[in-house]
A and B are shown apart, each in its own frame.
Chain A
Amino acid sequence: QKEVEQNSGPLSVPEGAIASLNCTYSDRGSQSFFWYRQYSGKSPELIMSIYSNGDKEDGRFTAQLNKASQYVSLLIRDSQPSDSATYLCAVRPGYSTLTFGKGTMLLVSP
């Protein structure tokens, strides 16, 4: 059974801090990894994709992938109140469809 695990949170960080969101997955054959941001009442928005071990940076966001540990994370630097949302980790094993985690709620306080 393919599983994607995330801490449901909420993860509370002060404005300007680094928020660290974590995700583990069970299928070693997974090839593609994604982070989505979902504001309350809105649909998920793709913010990062990562396919290779290591770090991938895009503005204030850094995705980190460690396939040996079956672990993917998202770092948000200089967190802003507008970053408050639920962050969904999604994993694709091979050519299969995406499996989503339940999401981590992030709260950034001013």
Chain B
Amino acid sequence: SAVISQKPSRDICQRGTSLTIQCQVDSQVTMMFWYRQQPGQSLTLIATANQGSEATYESGFVIDKFPISRPNLTFSTLTVSNMSPEDSSIYLCSVARQGDEQYFGPGTRLTVT
């Protein structure tokens, strides 16, 4: 497995502002992903963070709203831009090495007021 940390663990933000979430892994990983989990719901993949190139976004998610960076093999950021109350959710970073298994960070609980 991998030790994954996320910052911040939680935040309360005003409508219209932006928040950047950081994900740090204790060792190099091939794949990094960003998910959203809304209350009582399952996990929805936002995008795959690609090292050295633009992220690959899933249907319904766009770069202007959720810009992602991945400058190296151990670190990624997700920004939630121009937030609205509908963006209130838990945001999760996930990583995978060469194999299939994916591991999740502790998550960032975001509340937009």
- Residues of A at the B interface (CB closer than 8 Å) are 32, 34, 36, 42-46, 49, 51, 88, 90, 92, 97-98, 100-103
Q: Which one of A45, A51, A97, A101 contacts B33 once the chains associate, using CB atoms below 8 Å?
A: A97
Residue from A46, A49, A88, A92 within 8 A of B43 (CB atoms): A88
Contact A46 B42 (CB under 8 A): no
Are A101 and B42 in contact (CB-based, < 8 A)?
Answer: yes
Flag if B102 contacts A46 (CB, 8 Å). Answer: yes
| Inter-subunit contact A44/B100 (CB<8 Å) | no
* B residues 1-50 in Cβ contact with A at 8 Å: 1, 33, 41-43, 45, 48
- Chain B residues in 8 Å Cβ range of A34: 100-102
Q: What is B's interface to A at a CB cutoff of 8 Å?
A: 1, 33, 41-43, 45, 48, 58, 90, 92, 100-107
25 A–B contact pairs at CB < 8 A? A34-B100, A34-B101, A36-B104, A42-B106, A43-B90, A44-B43, A44-B92, A44-B104, A46-B101, A46-B102, A46-B104, A49-B100, A49-B101, A88-B42, A88-B43, A92-B100, A97-B33, A97-B45, A97-B48, A97-B58, A98-B45, A98-B102, A100-B42, A102-B41, A103-B42
B101 touches A43 (CB 8 A): no
Since A32-B100, A97-B48 are in contact, a sample of 7 more A-B pairs with Cβ atoms closer than 8 Å, ordered by chain A residue number, is A34-B100, A43-B92, A90-B102, A97-B45, A98-B102, A102-B41, A103-B42
Give Cα distance in the complex from A44 to B4, angstroms: 12
Closest to A32 in B: B100
Q: Which of A43, A45, A51, A102 contacts B42 (CB 8 A)?
A: A102
Residue among A34, A43, A44 facing the most chain B CB atoms (10 A cut-off): A43
Which residues in B have their C-beta under 8 angstroms from that of A103?
42
Give the distance to chain A from B32, nearest Cβ to Cβ, in Å: 12
Given A88-B42, A88-B43, A103-B42, does the pair A46, B103 have CB atoms closer than 8 Å? yes
